[in-house]
Structure 1
Amino acid sequence: MKSAQTGDQPGPLDSRLLMITVACTLLPVMVTLDATVVNVAQRTFIVEFSSTQAVVAWTMTAYTLALAAVIPLTGCVANRMGTKRLVLGSVLLFSLGSLLCALAPNITLLVAFRALQGLGGGMLMPLQLIILARAAGPDRLSRVLTISIVPVLLAPICGPILGGWLIDSFGWQWIFLINLPIGLLALVLAGSVLPRDVPLPAEPIDVIGMLVLSPGLVLFLYGVSLLPQRGKITDPHIWLPVAGGLTLVVAFVVHSRRRADGALIDLRLLKHQQVAAANAIRFLFAITFFGSCLLFPAYFQEVLSKTPSQSALLLLPQTLAAAAVMPTVGRLLEKHGPYGVVLMGTTLAVLGLGVFVYGMSRDQVNLPVLLAGLALFGVGSGCMITPVSWAAVHTLDSSEIAHGSTLFNVNHNIAASIGTALMSVILTSRFDGKGRGAAVGPADSLAEDAVGQGLSPDPVTLSSQVQAPDLLAHVGNETSHAYTGVFVIAMIVLAATAIPASFLPKRPATRVDATPIEPSVA
C-alpha cells in the first residue's frame, strides 16, 4: 500500500491506522511504567528480602542494562523476522519476566528476572517507531506520533502513584502482576491489528557487531550508573567499565565503517543531515530532560519536605502541559516543518527552567511559580519530542527505518543514563564544595550544622533543637542554591540544542514516499 498524499494534503487517519497506533502505544508504556513503578518499591524490597540498598538497587540496574544490551539488535532482527512477530515475542518475554518477578522467593532471583524483563522490553520502544513510520508513511507520521507519545509522557508520573497504591493495598508482587493484563491486551491488539509484514531481504548477521556493541554499551552504562554512588570518574569501579565500554563502542564504529552492508546499526544513516541533527538534538535534550526529571521530585522532597506521592502529583503540570500541546505540535509540524517547532520548544523549555530557578531562588520558595515553570518546561518538551522523532526517520526508506529507529533509541538510552548520573554528581559536588561532605539532603545537612553549633545530631531531637536559630532556613537555602546551580547547567545544555536544530528542514516536507504498510521483499 502506498501513500498517495502530498505534504499539503496529508491523508486521513483511518480506523486501521488508529488501531495500529493504539497497539504501538502500549509497547513503550509497559517499559516506562515498569521502570518507574519499581522505583517506589526499593525500601519495600530491603525489608521483605532482608537486603541492603546496594543489592536492591540492582533491581533497577539489571533492568536498565538488559534494555541497553538488546536495543542495538532491534533493527537487524526486525528486518529479518518482521516487526509483528518480534513484538509478540518481546511482549511474551516481558510478561513472563513480570510473572517470575512476582513469584521471586529471594532478591537474587528477583534481580535475574528483572534482567529477563529488560531483555523482553528492550526492543519494544524502537519497534514502536519502526511500525508507526512504516504504517503511517511520511505525511501522516507526525500525527500518529503525537497520539502515541501522550501516554508515554503520563507513564512516569502515574508509575510512582500506581506503585505506591499497589504496594500499600495489595503487596509488592502486584507491581509486577499488573503487567500481565497490560501484556495480554498488547498481545491481543498486536495480533489482530498489526500488519502481517514479510521480512525484508535478509542481511548477513553481523556477529562482530553483536559481540562488541551490546557488551560495550552495557559496560559503559554500568560504569556511568555507579558515578553518583562513587562520585569520582577516577574511581576504578567507574573508569574501568567506562573505558572498556567506550573501547568496544569505538571498535564497533570502526567495524561499521569497514563493513559495506549489514552492520548491526547502519551508521551511514548519519550522513543524512536531518538524521544526524535529530540524533544530536535528542542526545542533548535527553541529558537535560531525564536529569531534570530526576531532580524535580528530589527538590520537592528535600527542600519542601514533600512525600514521594506529593512530589509525583506536583509534576503533573509538566506532563499535562506536554500532553495538551501535542495536537497543536502535530499541525505545526505539518505546516511549518520541524525547525521552527523545535526552536520554539527549546526556547519555551529553557524559559520554563528559568522560571523554576527563579521560584526556588527566592527567600521564600514560591510554589505557584515552580509549577508554572514546570508547565512551561512541559510545553517546550512537548514541542521538541515529536518533531525530533519524526526527523529521525522521515527521510528513510522502509528498509532503513529499522536501523534509524534503533540508532535513535540507542542514542536516547545513552543520553538518559548520562543525564541522570551527571546531574546527580554535579549536585553532590556543589554540596561538597560548600564543605558539606556528602550531605545531599536536609537531614544530613541538618545533622552537620547541629554538630557545628554544639547540638546533638540525633534526628529524634533535631526538630526541637532547631526551633531556636534559623538552622532549618539556613539548610534550606543552602540546598536550594545547590539545586539552582544544577538547573542553570541544565538550561545551558538544553539551549545548545538550537545549534543542531538549525540543520533541520525549515519548510514542511512535500516528499511523497512509497513506504508500505505491509513491507514486501524487494
Structure 2
Amino acid sequence: MKTTPSHPAAPPATPVRGSPGATAIALVVVVGSLMSVLDTTIVNVALAPLARDFAAPLTVIQWVATAYTLALATVVPATGWSVARFGTKRLYTLAICLFTAGSVLAGLAWDVRALIAFRVVQGLGGGLIMPVGMTMVVRAADKASMGRTMALLGIPVLIGPMAGPVLGGWLLDHADWRWMFFVNVPLGVVAAFLAVRVLPRDPAGTATAPRLDVPGLLTLSPGLVALLYGLTVAGRERSPAAPGALVPMALGAALIAVFTVRALTVRQPLVDLRLFGRRTFAAGAGVMALFPCAYFGSMLLTPMYYQVVRGVSATTAGLLGIPQVLATGLMMQVAGGLVDRAAPGRVVVTGVLTASAGFLAFTLQVGAGTPFPRLVAALAVMGVGVGMTMMPAQTAATRELSHAQVPQAMATIGITGQIAASVGGVVMSVLLTGAMTARGVTTDDHTAADAPRLADAFQHTYGWAVALMALAVLPALLLPARRTRRDG
C-alpha cells in the first residue's frame, strides 16, 4: 500500500542549501534550545531542595519535572500540522514567547500545585522549540553535511548541562528558587529577537495545511497523562492493583490503543505511525525510546544522590556533573562528523555500549563514601557514549526521508524521546521510593547513619536504568552498518 505523508508541509519561501543558510538557522535554533536545556538541568538539581521547601514527597515533587516533559509530549504530536498551518518562523517565535511566559509564571508560583501547572505552560512552548528548529535545520542542510550541521544543535547539550546545574545550585544556595525560572527571561527575549530578524520567511501554508487530527490529540495526550499518573500512584501505594492506580493506567492504555489503531487507518493522523514501516526510522526511534528513558530518568536522581546521601550543596552537585556533560557535548560534535563519513549503525552501537559501560561502572561504585573522582570519571565515560548515541540516531532516522516527511518525522522522534524521558522520570522515582521504603529510609528525615541504606536504594534503582540503557543496543543494531549512496 502506498504511504501518503500525513502532513505535507509548505516548502521554505527561499530554499537554502549548504553551509551558510543552514548554519545561520542552526545557530538561531541553538539559542532557543539552550534556554530549554538550561531550564531542564537547573530544575533537575533543584528537586531535593524543592521537596524540602514545599514539604512534598518525592513522588509529588518529581512532577515538577514530569509535568514539563508530559506537556512537551502533548504538544509535539501537533508539530507537523502546526508547521504546515503557521509556518516554521511564526511557530518557532510563538514557542519561544510561550516558554518565556511560562518561566515568569513558574517563578511567581505560590505552592507546588501552581508550580506544576505553570511548568505545563513552559512545556507547551518548550515542546515546539526543538522539533520545529530541527525541521528548519534539516530542510536547509544538504544530506552530505547533515551530520555536521545537526551537531551544531548539540551546543546546548554542551553548554546548558554545564552551566545549568551550577547556576541553579548557586541560586538555590545563595538566592531563591524562583530565580531558577526568572533567569530564562533575558535569554528568551534574545531568542525571540533573533528568530524574528534572522530566520527566513515562509508561507503560512493555510491553503495546504491538513485538518488537525483532533480525535488523535484527544486520545494520545490524555492517555499518556493517565498512564503516567497511574504509574506514580502505583509507586506510592506499592501496588499496581490499587484503585487509584489501576483505573488511570487502564484508561491510559485504552486511549493509547485507540489512538494507535486509528493512526494506522486514517489518511492524515496526528502522528504518522506508518513511518515505522521504514527500518532505519524505526531503528532510530527505538534507540530514542529506550536510551532517553534510562538516561534522563536516572539523571534526575544523580543530583539528589549527591545532596541527600553525600551531603554536598546544590552548587557542588552541579559542579560534579560538569565532566559528564562536557564529554557529551564534545563527543556530540565529533560524532556529527562521524555520521557523515561512517555507517551510522556503527557509531550508535558503539555509543550505546560505551554509555552502558560507564553507567555500570558508576552504579557499582555508588555508596556512602565512594571518592568523588571515581564516580565523576565513570559518568564522564557514560557522557562520551551519550554524545555518540542520541543525535546520531536522530540524524540516521531522518536522513532518507523527503522534505515533506521531515516535520512528521521530527515530531514522531520528538514525542518518542519526550515520552521516554517522562516515563523514565516517573519509573525511576517510583523505583527509588520503593527501594527506600523497603530499607526504612526517606530523603526527608534521615541521619548520617542512614547514608549506607540510602546509597543502597540509589544503587538498586540505577541498576534497572543500566539494564534499560543496554537494551538500546538492540534497535541500534538495525541501523545501517554501511554507508549508502544517499548518505553522500
TM-score interval, smaller chain? 0.7 to 0.9
User: Counterpart in 1 of 2:419?
Assistant: 414
Following superposition, the deviation at residue 57 of structure 1 comes to: 6.4
Of 237, 243, 252 in structure 2, the residue corresponding to residue 236 of structure 1 is 243
Of 245, 263, 267 in structure 1, the residue corresponding to residue 269 of structure 2 is 263
User: Counterpart in 2 of 1:218?
Assistant: 225
Q: 1:270 to 1:36 in 2, by over 3 A?
A: same
Superposed, 1:43-442 pairs within 5 Å as 52-53=55-56, 59-103=64-108, 110-166=115-171, 171-199=176-204, 201-259=208-266, 261-360=267-366, 365-433=370-438, 436-437=439-440, 439-441=441-443
Deviations 1:442-487 (A, max 9, x none): 953x5xxxxxxxxxxxxxxxx7xxxxxxxx4xx5444444433333
Superposed, 1:456-467 pairs within 5 Å as none
- Give 3-state SS (helix, strand or coil) of 1:492's partner: helix
Q: 1:224–1:417: 8 Å Cα contact kept in structure 2?
A: no
User: Counterpart in 2 of 1:488?
Assistant: 463
TM-score, length of structure 2 as denominator length: 0.87
Deviations 1:278-307 (A, max 9, x none): 111111101210122123223323433222
- Give 3-state SS (helix, strand or coil) of 1:53's partner: coil
* Whole-angstrom CA distance in 1 between matches of 2:61 and 2:465: 29
* Whole-angstrom CA distance in 1 between matches of 2:299 and 2:48: 21
Following superposition, the deviation at residue 511 of structure 1 comes to: 1.5
Structure 1 letter corresponding to 2:413? F
Structure 2 letter corresponding to 1:285? F
Structure 2 letter corresponding to 1:387? P
For structure 1, which segment, 233-242 or 310-319, has the greater mean C-alpha deviation from structure 2 after superposition?
Answer: 233-242
For structure 1, which segment, 314-323 or 16-25, has the greater mean C-alpha deviation from structure 2 after superposition?
Answer: 16-25
Q: Which runs of 5+ in 2 are unaligned?
A: 1-13
Q: 1:441 to 1:342 in 2, by over 3 A?
A: same
Structure of larger gyration radius: 1
Following superposition, the deviation at residue 38 of structure 1 comes to: 4.1
Deviations 1:134-175 (A, max 9, x none): 111322221122221231354244333223434555544433
* Whole-angstrom CA distance in 2 between matches of 1:2 and 1:107: 47
Deviations 1:349-398 (A, max 9, x none): 1211232234337x962332212111100001111012111022212111
Structure 2 letter corresponding to 1:124? I
Following superposition, the deviation at residue 101 of structure 1 comes to: 3.8
* Whole-angstrom CA distance in 2 between matches of 1:106 and 1:441: 20
- What value does the CA root-mean-square deviation take over the aligned residues? 3.0
Q: 1:175 to 1:491 in 2, by over 3 A?
A: closer
Structure 2 letter corresponding to 1:266? D
* Whole-angstrom CA distance in 2 between matches of 1:47 and 1:354: 30
Residue 480 of structure 2 corresponds to residue 505 of structure 1: yes
Structure 2 letter corresponding to 1:381? V
Residue 31 of structure 2 corresponds to residue 26 of structure 1: yes
Deviations 1:59-101 (A, max 9, x none): 5454344323222111111122111110111212222233344
Q: 2:15–2:140: 8 Å Cα contact kept in structure 1?
A: no
Q: 1:360–1:366: 8 Å Cα contact kept in structure 2?
A: no
TM-score, length of structure 1 as denominator length: 0.81
- Give 3-state SS (helix, strand or coil) of 1:306's partner: coil
Structure 1 letter corresponding to 2:248? P
For structure 1, which segment, 149-158 or 261-270, has the greater mean C-alpha deviation from structure 2 after superposition?
Answer: 149-158
Structure 1 letter corresponding to 2:285? N
Q: Which runs of 5+ in 1 are unaligned?
A: 5-10, 447-462, 464-471, 514-522
- Give 3-state SS (helix, strand or coil) of 2:404's partner: helix
* Whole-angstrom CA distance in 2 between matches of 1:320 and 1:3: 32
Following superposition, the deviation at residue 105 of structure 1 comes to: 6.1
Q: 1:42–1:53: 8 Å Cα contact kept in structure 2?
A: no
Deviations 1:154-212 (A, max 9, x none): 42443332234345555444333322211111112111222222355322322221221
Deviations 1:11-59 (A, max 9, x none): 5x32x322211111123332232234345666887898xx652687665
Residues matched between the structures, number: 471
Q: 1:107 to 1:384 in 2, by over 3 A?
A: closer
Structure 2 letter corresponding to 1:149? G
Structure 1 letter corresponding to 2:423? I
Deviations 1:88-143 (A, max 9, x none): 11212222233344455666655544332222222112212211111113222211
Structure 2 letter corresponding to 1:366? P
For structure 1, which segment, 92-101 or 205-214, has the greater mean C-alpha deviation from structure 2 after superposition?
Answer: 92-101
User: Counterpart in 2 of 1:469?
Assistant: none
* Whole-angstrom CA distance in 1 between matches of 2:52 and 2:295: 32
Q: 2:432–2:461: 8 Å Cα contact kept in structure 1?
A: yes
Following superposition, the deviation at residue 263 of structure 1 comes to: 0.8
Structure 1 letter corresponding to 2:258? A
Q: 1:364 to 1:181 in 2, by over 3 A?
A: closer
Following superposition, the deviation at residue 408 of structure 1 comes to: 0.9
